[in-house]
Amino acid sequence: MQVSIDDVDFTKSEGLIPVIVQDIKSKDVLMLAYANKEALQLTIQTGKAWFWSRSRKRLWMKGEESGNVQYVKDVLVDCDSDALIYLVESGGPACHTGNRTCFHNRLIR
């Protein structure tokens, strides 16, 4: 089923929705970030991953500082229309630490 940007529910968390970023080839989960409607619109318009920074309170494009741009090949919307997956081709490490994925730490059990 296809949905439009107007079907995405930005009302539940102060205008933000979680975005899981996944490598389109390896299926590795690269990162989790948040988007508002404007970030999603920019992602669709540019084909590059845009997000809302909760700490800096501003829009940001992945790779604007590091050069590790994520090229969005598809966007999936969950069944409640309040979370997204960006399927991307990544231009380098996703994590600000230099790791390929932000999920590189294992929880001690």
* Known binding-site positions for Zn(2+): 79, 95, 102
Separation of alpha carbons 34 and 53, rounded Å: 7
d(C-alpha 79, C-alpha 97), whole Å: 33
23 C-beta neighbours (distance < 10 Å), count:
17
Binding residues for Mg(2+): 78, 80, 82
List binding-site positions. Answer: 78-80, 82, 95, 102
Strand, helix or coil for residue 2: coil
The SS3 of residue 6 is helix
Element housing 19 (H / E): strand 17-23
